[in-house]
Structures are given as structure tokens and as C-alpha cells.
Amino acid sequence: MKICFLMYPWEEVKKLDSTLRLIHECVKRGHLVGMTTPERLGIRDSVTMANCQIFDRGQKVSASMSSFYKNAVKSWKNVPMAGYDAVFMRANPPMDPLVLNFLDSIKDDVFVMNAVKGLREANNKIYTAAYYDPDHELIPTTHVSKDVDYLKQIIEESDQEQMIMKPLDGFGGRGVIIIEKSASKNIKSLLDFYVNNSRPGEKSQYVILQEYVPGAEKGDVRVLMLNGEPIASIRRVPSSGDVRSNVSAGGSVQKYKLTKEEVQFCRKIGEKLVRDGLYFTGLDIINGKLIEVNVMSPGALTEYNMLNKTRIQIPIIDFIEKTVLEKNLARKRKSDMDSMLEG
């Protein structure tokens, strides 16, 4: 199998990075593995190309992630993206919409995980906020806007003392804060900053206001979903004095097993994810409510592996191999039929 990881630069990969585990598993299996970044995509003679780092298939692959990262042999090559069997999206949000246009040109020839349609719909938090749930059984009451006066009105009319506010396209817990009605004199100024000043050069940006879910101060549960099924879960606990439970924001992790009710909850969400071509995602759940769906580069593989003494990257790569095989067999059947009809 030939697989390309569309990701952040190799130099920015961290010791506990989930993407490193996924790449390592593919290289270890002997696949042709390439890495590229959104900035290295381009068009040459009407063909979508990318300048990729290609791992040497003949090299010895260390079991140590740090040794693999340090010593992996790879070289730069400009190659057609349609030459790969699979492209695994691992870039950090926010998504440059032009990247999806490049992927549009190869999606019929290459298995893209996650699918271009799903990435287009779900690469920011509107996907979760717009989930149809009139009785709020699955997601907390959520508002999205960049109208400061409207957002202020929502806060004032809320029955709760606290609400969560975060940037629409943030990730890793960046910019997540608690809004308190008791600090009403500061709310307008805070909204002005988030909407109008947090991204230099842009006039305004959307923010999310979300009902504060009881128990949020104790952290959340990160669930990894593969083809509509929960395959891993951990509890993420905020550091003292912080509302964010993201590990990248200083949170810690604990072993966690989903209840039967939580498994059914995840499967219900999973049905929509699969319909949208979102085969590998991360769900953030607090007290039975879906807070976010992560579709770009969901993490927590490493933490789950350490807590459970396993390698959850194995079924993930198994799924890609199986999907690619089925796609190739279907293509061969069509080709064989064409030959039969011509004969």
C-alpha cells in the first residue's frame, strides 16, 4: 500500500504524537509511506502533485518511537497525489479550504481519510453545533455568532451563571474560557476582543457560546471512533485552576472504560459520522453530552496505549488496508467486466 500523511511539518512532531505512532505502524508494515504538508500541494500539467518526504522501505525500523523519529531514513520527491492508495489527513485546524480543492481532484482514485465531503462539513465546530438535537439529549445548548450584541444578549438571558466560550476554529483547548454573568461589566470588552481582535488582519471571527455542562470542571472523556464504533477512551482531567482538559493545555489522563449507555451514545453519533465519510474521529464528551467532534487530527492514541498497554494504531491501519483492498478489488472487477464485454 502507498499511503501519504497530509500533516504538519515533521520537525513539529512531538515525542507523544499520535501521528508518529500511525506513521511508524505503516513503515513497520513495509508500506510506501510519504509525508507532506498543505503548503507543499500544487498542480503540474493539470495533475495534483506534492513535494513529499518518502520513507526508505528497506530501512530497519526501531520499536522505539524516539529512535524511529530521530533515525528514520527519508528523501524528498515530487510525486502525483493520485499515485497513492490512501491519504490520511493529520493536519491541524483551521483547515485551508483550498486543500480540499486539491483533494477533490484525487478523491475518486484515492481513499481519503477522512473523506473530502466530511472534512468540508466538519473541519470546525459548526458541525457539532448544528447537530440536529431539538431536545438537547446529545449536545448542550450552543450558539455560534460574531455579533457581539447578540452574544451579550445570549449571556444575559441565560439561566446559568456560567457559559463556555471558544473560537470556532480553535483546537487543543486554545482560547477556551468560562464566561460568568457576575462579571457583566467585563463581558462586552471580552466579546469585542474575541470577535474583533484575536486574529490580526481579519475583521472579525465567529465564536461559540455553549451551555456549561455540570461536571466539566472534572474533565471530559475523549473517545476515538473508527468506522462508527468507539475503539478507545480515556478521561482527561484539567490541571488545577484550568477549565481545559486537553493534554496539550496541561491536562492529565486517566484510564476510562465506557459504560453500555456511553457506547450506545457513541454509536448513535457514529452513524452520522460514517454517512459523512468521517471514519476516524475523536469525540469529546462531558456528562453524557457531545462537546466536540475532532476530524482533522484526533489525538490521544499515545495516552491510551500507555494506560492500556496496547497499540490502538493497529486496527486503524488495518481499516485503511482493508478499505484500500476493497477499493482495488472493485476497480479490478470493473476492468475485468469491460474486458469481457469488449471480447
Flag the least confident range among 85-99, 112-126, 204-218, 307-321.
204-218
Q: What is the CATH number of the domain that holds 42?
A: 3.40.50.20
Give pLDDT, residue 88.
98
| Same domain for 45 and 100 | yes
Residue 159 pLDDT greater than 90, yes or no: no
- In CATH, what number is assigned to the domain containing residue 264? 3.30.470.20
Asked whether residue 199 falls in the same domain as residue 221, the answer is: no
Domain membership of residue 177 (yes or no) is yes
pLDDT, one tens digit per residue, over 258-284 is: 999 999 999 999 999 999 999 999 999
pLDDT at 185: 76
Answer whether residue 275 is part of any domain.
yes
Residue 295 lies in a domain: yes
For residues 146 and 108, membership in a common domain is answered with: no
Both 187 and 226 in a single domain?
no
Asked if residue 119 is part of any domain, the answer here is no
Instruction: Reduce the secondary structure of the chain to three states and give it as a string.
Output: CEEEEECCCHHHCCCCCHHHHHHHHHHHCCCEEEEECHHHEEEECCEEEEEEEEECCCCCCCCCHHHHHHHCCEEEEEEEHHHCCEEEECCCCCCCHHHHHHHHCCCCCCEEECCHHHHHHHCCCHHHHCCCCCCCCCCCCEEEECCHHHHHHHHHHCCCCEEEEEECCCCCCCCCEEEEHHHHHHHHHHHHHHHHHCCCCCCCCCEEEEECCCCHHHCEEEEEEECCEEEEEEEEECCCCCCCCCHHHCCEEEECCCCHHHHHHHHHHHHHHHHCCCCEEEEEEECCEEEEEECCCCCCHHHHHHHHCCCCHHHHHHHHHHHHHHHHHHHHHHHHHHHHHHC
In a shared domain, residues 169 and 247: no
pLDDT(198) > 70 = no
Residue 249's pLDDT band (cuts 50, 70, 90):
very low
Asked if residue 48 and residue 80 are part of one domain, the reply reads: yes
Please indicate, yes or no, if residue 292 is contained in any of the structural domains: yes
What pLDDT is stored for residue 199 in this prediction? 52
185 vs 111: which has the higher pLDDT = 111
Instruction: Give the lowest-confidence range in 99-113, 117-131, 245-259.
Output: 245-259
**pTM for the whole thing?**
0.88
In a shared domain, residues 278 and 193: no
Domain count, the chain: 3
Give me the domain span that covers residue 157. Answer: 141-211
Residue 328 lies in a domain: no
Average pLDDT score over residue span 58-64: 94
Report pLDDT digits (tens) over 81-93. Answer: 999 999 999 998 8
pLDDT of residue 124: 82
Q: Is residue 185, in this structure, part of any structural domain at all?
A: yes
